[in-house]
């Protein structure tokens, strides 16, 4: 995506990417539709679109490292949102993992907490991404994975079509179309399909914590592509991985029955 949006408008690229994913999955909607499929799919799609808009526009006013840090504050926002909206409290092992992972993210990004226009927009995008995780945690098990994704991808494409037509065009070079096809199939259809399938079985807070693997994997792939990770990046990545391991392995030691709300399911 980073290579593609150097040559094309980000909104147009996102419409192409999610449009391709929606078209691939559209034939499954009518055969596998369930009660409230469109309502839940549109809700998830609106959150997803809001997340990408906040992140994309915010990147115009802040740096990549700052954007990554504020985007992945969703790991803190998700348990708060889940507790308030769904009355599902995160387990102690999850909270311990979140503290470690967020600390690692601070070290990895090397950024402070100054709030400018870019940071505010990115933070709003993180809230939308967190809402997407919470929505999926609530509705994923009620629907077919592919049908739900078809609706949410179509929603993203429709919502972002207006900004795409105003700010850009779809006269992509071949490399950008190749990136759109790749992300539309591998990232949208496959990766989001796995996320929806997993969130039918894992609580929202743990799903958000596992998604913290994304900046770690991105840093490793970037290093293989010639980018410099640095000592701070390596330490931060290790702390994020440690946070995930604490969440996964320390449950018997840290978790106790909760009062005042229903705890999230463990992995």
Phi and psi at residue 60, to the nearest 5°:
-75, -15
| pLDDT score recorded for residue 260 | 45
How far CA 258 is from CA of 7, 198, 244, in Å, comes to 51, 24, 21
40/70: higher pLDDT: 40
* CB atoms near residue 184 (< 10 Å): 20
In whole angstroms, what is the distance from residue 11 CA to residue 258 CA?
A: 44
Between 185 and 83, where is the model more confident?
185
Residue range 121-149: average pLDDT? Answer: 90
Using the predicted structure, report yes or no on whether residue 205 has a pLDDT greater than 80.
no
- The CA distance from 265 to 256, in Å, is 12
pTM of the model: 0.75
Which is higher by pLDDT, 78 or 23? 23
- Give me the residue spans of the domains in the chain: 4-263
Q: Per the structure block, which two tokens stand in for 14?
A: 């996102």
pLDDT attached to residue 43: 96
> For 214-255, what is each residue's pLDDT tens digit?
767 766 776 676 666 577 767 777 777 777 677 666 666 665
Tallying the residues shown for the chain, one arrives at 267
Contact of 266 with 203, CB cutoff 8 Å: yes
Contact assessment for residue 88 and residue 82, using Cβ atoms and an 8 Å cutoff:
yes
Burial 230-264 (b: 16+ CB within 10 A, else e): eeebeebbebbbebbebbbebeeebeeeeeeeebb
Cα separation, 38 vs 15, whole angstroms: 19
């Amino acid at each position: 995506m980073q290579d593609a949006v150097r040559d094309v408008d980000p909104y147009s690229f996102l419409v192409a990417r999610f449009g391709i994913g929606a078209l691939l999955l559209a034939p499954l909607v009518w055969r596998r539709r369930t009660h409230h499929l469109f309502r839940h799919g549109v809700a998830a799609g609106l959150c997803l679109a809001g997340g990408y808009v906040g992140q994309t526009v915010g990147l115009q006013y802040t740096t990549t490292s700052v954007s990554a840090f504020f985007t992945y504050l969703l790991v803190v926002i998700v348990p708060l949102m889940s507790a308030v909206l769904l009355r599902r409290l995160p387990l102690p092992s999850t909270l311990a993992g979140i503290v470690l992972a967020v600390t690692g993210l601070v070290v990895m990004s090397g950024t402070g907490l100054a709030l400018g226009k870019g940071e505010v927009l990115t933070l709003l995008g993180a809230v939308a991404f967190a809402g997407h995780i919470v929505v999926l945690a609530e509705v994923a098990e009620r629907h077919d994975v592919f049908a739900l994704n078809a609706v949410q991808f179509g929603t993203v494409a429709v919502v972002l079509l207006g900004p795409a037509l105003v700010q850009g065009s779809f006269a992509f070079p071949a490399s950008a179309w190749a990136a759109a096809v790749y992300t539309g199939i591998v990232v949208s259809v496959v990766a989001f399909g796995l996320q929806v399938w997993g969130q039918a079985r894992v609580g929202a807070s743990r799903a958000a914590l596992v998604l913290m693997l994304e900046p770690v994997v991105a840093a490793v792939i970037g290093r293989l592509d010639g980018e410099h990770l640095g000592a701070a990046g390596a330490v931060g990545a290790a702390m994020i991985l440690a946070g995930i391991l604490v969440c996964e392995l320390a449950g018997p030691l840290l978790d106790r029955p909760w009062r005042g709300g229903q705890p999230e399911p463990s992995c």
